[in-house]
Amino acid sequence: MIYETITFDVTDGVAVVTMNRPDVMNALNTQMRAELTDALTRAGKAARAVVLTGTGGCFCSGQDLGDAGSVETLDLERVLREEYVPMLKAITDCPVPVIAAVNGAAAGAGANLALVCDVVIATQSAFFLQAFTRIGLIPDAGGTWALPRQMGLAKAMGAALFGDKITAQQADDWGMIWEAVPDAGFDAHWRSRAAHLANGPTVAYQNLKVALRGAFENDLEAQLAVEAKLQGQCGKTRDFKEGVMAFLEKRPAAYEGN
């Protein structure tokens, strides 16, 4: 696929997928959703870590309302099922870690696109906005799933009902994201984080994603069984052997993937 609304690059094991519609604050239209789905799926096969970010000082302003067509004929259920679900599953099902590098505003579906990623790193000047009720909608793009899990029901309900801006620092303080960092040096910071993951134990990361994402559906006994199975898989990898040897030899581990 030739990309027109995003850019895609793989360097040193890190795939960077950049939303590239700065004239509309990287709003999501049908073409961008298809391209993101394709690129994120490719990235999981071509790299050992993935970064999703935006151009023009904005992460993503959400659904492109100009692309929606007539309100009277718009089938939101179809759009969500056929266009958003594959895009979001390309992230959650990705076998390698996916970082959202939120370089500015993340609003509506753009906010929830970030929150469904494995790790969210945001600039201090960034903000998150659940703008849905402003146009008579509920949070979508996975928002009703991610918000209560990441910030608790009380904060999630307030964020969705009032549609207030949540600063990056608030999001960090509330446990909604991994970290808010200074704008200066932001690119270097997320690249360093991505490089760390790209040089890590790939099977452990993949199994970790499976275990944590499934934990909310399991009771303790079921989750312990999942842990045992996945840990057994990790214990048979070259990465585990290398990690143990590196620890005993007091040197950095040189993971190569399995």
Q: Name the band, by pLDDT with cuts 50, 70 and 90, for residue 60.
A: very high
How do 165-167 and 127-129 pair as beta strands? antiparallel
The C-alpha atoms of residue 124 and residue 186 are separated, in whole angstroms, by: 9
Q: Name the band, by pLDDT with cuts 50, 70 and 90, for residue 17.
A: very high
Q: Name the band, by pLDDT with cuts 50, 70 and 90, for residue 73.
A: low
Q: Is the CATH number of domain 202-248 1.10.12.10?
A: yes
Contact (CB, 8 A) for 192 and 14: no
Q: Name the band, by pLDDT with cuts 50, 70 and 90, for residue 258.
A: low
What residue spans in the chain does CATH classification 1.10.12.10 cover? Answer: 202-248
% of residues, the chain, pLDDT over 70: 97
Q: Report the pLDDT value the prediction gives residue 68, as an integer from 0 to 100.
A: 63
H helix intervals, 22-176: 30-46, 76-79, 85-92, 109-115, 143-162, 168-173
Above 80 in pLDDT, residue 42?
yes
Q: Name the band, by pLDDT with cuts 50, 70 and 90, for residue 49.
A: very high
Q: Name the band, by pLDDT with cuts 50, 70 and 90, for residue 4.
A: very high
Helix (H) or strand (E) holding 167: strand 165-167
DSSP 3-state of 51: strand
pLDDT by residue (tens digit) across 128-179?
Answer: 999 999 999 999 999 999 999 999 999 999 999 999 999 999 999 999 999 9
What secondary structure letter does DSSP report for 205? H
Q: Name the band, by pLDDT with cuts 50, 70 and 90, for residue 71.
A: low
Q: Report the pLDDT value the prediction gives residue 67, as an integer from 0 to 100.
A: 75
The pTM is what?
0.94
Tokens 């909608």 map to which residue?
137
Q: To which CATH superfamily is domain 6-198 assigned? A: 2-enoyl-CoA Hydratase; Chain A, domain 1 (3.90.226.10)
What residue spans in the chain does CATH classification 3.90.226.10 cover? Answer: 6-198
pLDDT by residue (tens digit) across 79-128?
Answer: 999 999 999 999 999 999 999 999 999 999 999 999 999 999 999 999 99
Above 90 in pLDDT, residue 185?
yes
Tokens 């961008």 map to which residue?
32
Measure CA of the first residue to CA of the last residue in the chain; give whole Å: 28
The C-alpha atoms of residue 164 and residue 142 are separated, in whole angstroms, by: 18
> What token pair was written down for 222?
């079921």
